[in-house]
Amino acid sequence: MPSFPLFALIRLMRPHQWLKNTFVFAGLVFSQAWQDGPLAWRVVQAFAAFCCFSSMVYIINDWHDRASDALHPAKRHRPLASGAVSAPAALALAGLLLVAGLLLVAGNRTLLVVLVLYVLLNLAYSWRLKQVPVVDVSIIATGFMLRLLAGTLAVGIPPSRWLLLTGIFLTLFLGFCKRKAESFQDEASQRAVLAHYPAALLDTFIAVTMTATLTTYSLFATSPEAQLQHGERLLYTVPVVIFGMLRYTYQVHRGCGEDVARDLLRDPWILAAGALWLLLFLSPWL
């Protein structure tokens, strides 16, 4: 009988991927509404609900793919594929996460709709649409946009058009970077969809989406809306964002970037850029 220690169950939930769910906080941060206690609490609940639902989706996908994962050189170490967690235990954990997520969104229909769309979209991606070029990355980007909407529209914060545009291009950039990083794997480990992504095409997609991200963020930082709300602070963050994206692109071309959340946390220069961005954004002297 396979064992399922607590550590294996935690690994099954992939908590390091919860970093992606911090997109939920973007509306609260840019609106500077964190002093509104009830509003901030709703955003925290939305974040926690997304963590529950995203972990549930990971578990369902791992359960569905456990046979093929067991034959994969890297994925065979996953808790279900390796037998560290049994299928019934994994499904029971997924059920508990579903209940916890539903309790967190109780009474918020808009957030519930966003989360249901997120689950359906991710299941469709994992079971079929990840094989369709461009559609696969678009779905990844849509998942991030749903997080943005969960932290704005679903909790009563009007979403900024600049925030949404920057978010769309940034998430497309991260998606194509993920495909680029995966292209450095040996052929036995590569996704089937990579056969439809020539290296030059991925480089073009990355360049286009990075340029669009930097353009929209710069326009946002210099817009009257941002100047009124944030003063000059956002303007000073533009070079930091440029550095961060260039550094991440460099890492991708070294073969990193397959796991966005993990690789962002491992690069000290990107972490330093994130800390500097936060320091500039929160600085009372700018």
In the chain, pLDDT over 70 holds for what percent of residues?
A: 94
Residue 120 sits in the same domain as residue 220: no
pLDDT band at 2 (very low <50, low <70, confident <90, very high): very low
Structure token pair of residue 158:
């009007």
Average pLDDT, the chain: 88
Question: What is the tens place of the pLDDT at every residue in 166-203?
Answer: 999 999 999 999 888 888 877 656 677 888 899 899 99
pTM: 0.82
What was the pLDDT predicted at 71? 79
Give, in order, the Cα–Cα distances in Å from 211 to each of 75, 163, 204: 33, 16, 11
In this structure, the answer to whether residues 176 and 107 fall within a common structural domain is no
Domain with 273, as residue range(s), is 160-187+197-286
Q: Is residue 171 domain-shared with residue 48, that is, in the same domain?
A: no
Amino acid at 229: Q
CB atoms within 10 A of CB 49: 26
Q: What is the mean pLDDT of residues 207-232?
A: 90
Eight-class DSSP state of 185 = S
Same domain, 203 and 171: yes
Nearest C-alpha neighbor of 23 from the set 145, 116, 122: 145
pLDDT of residue 3: 46
Pairwise pLDDT comparison (116 vs 223), residue with the higher score: 116
Structurally, the chain folds into a number of domains equal to 2
Nearest in space to 18 (alpha carbons), one of 260, 266, 279, 257: 260
> Do 70 and 164 fall within a single domain?
no
For residue 109, the model assigns a pLDDT of: 92
Residue 217: which residues within 8 A CB-CB, separation 6 or more? Answer: 166, 238, 241
Nearest to 253 by CA among 167, 172, 179: 179
CA distances to 8, 13, 91, 199 from 94, rounded to whole Å, are 14, 9, 5, 37
State whether 164 and 119 are in the same domain: no
Q: How far apart are CA 219 and CA 74, in angstroms?
A: 42
What is the pLDDT at residue 257? 61
Please determine, for residue 4, whether its predicted confidence score (pLDDT) is greater than 80.
Answer: no
Task: Tell me: do 154 and 167 sit in the same domain.
Answer: no
The two tokens of residue 7 are 């550590």
pLDDT at site 188: 55
Is 55's pLDDT higher than 50? Answer: yes
